[in-house]
Amino acid sequence: MRPFTITRIHTTHGVFRLKGQIIEHDVPSSESSRLQIDCLDILGTDGWIALKINDPATQTLILSIQDACLQHLRPEP
């Protein structure tokens, strides 16, 4: 596992900041990696709002933004 921090990412679901771990498998690519998110905030009209990681709606949201986050974390060639 490799720690990561994204200070700001714009997605189709909103603007987020997050911290966690990249869990890599044998083949290093976004298709073989997944995220373990420890802290997830969404940008609201009054600033950052912490989301409850264990909430089912948050888990669904994490699944929907995971590919964008992995793409963001991928090193540039």
Please write the tens of the pLDDT for every residue from 9-30.
999 999 999 999 998 776 554 4
Q: Indicate the average pLDDT of the chain.
A: 90
| pTM of the model as a whole | 0.83
Residue 68: pLDDT over 80: yes
For residues 21-48, average pLDDT: 83
Q: Can you give the pLDDT at residue 60?
A: 96
1 DSSP assignment:
-
DSSP-derived letter for residue 75 is P
User: What is the Cα–Cα distance from 61 to 43, expressed in whole angstroms?
Assistant: 14
Any idea where the domains of the chain sit in the sequence?
2-73
Which residues are CB-contacts of 52 (< 8 A; sequence separation ≥ 6)?
A: 58
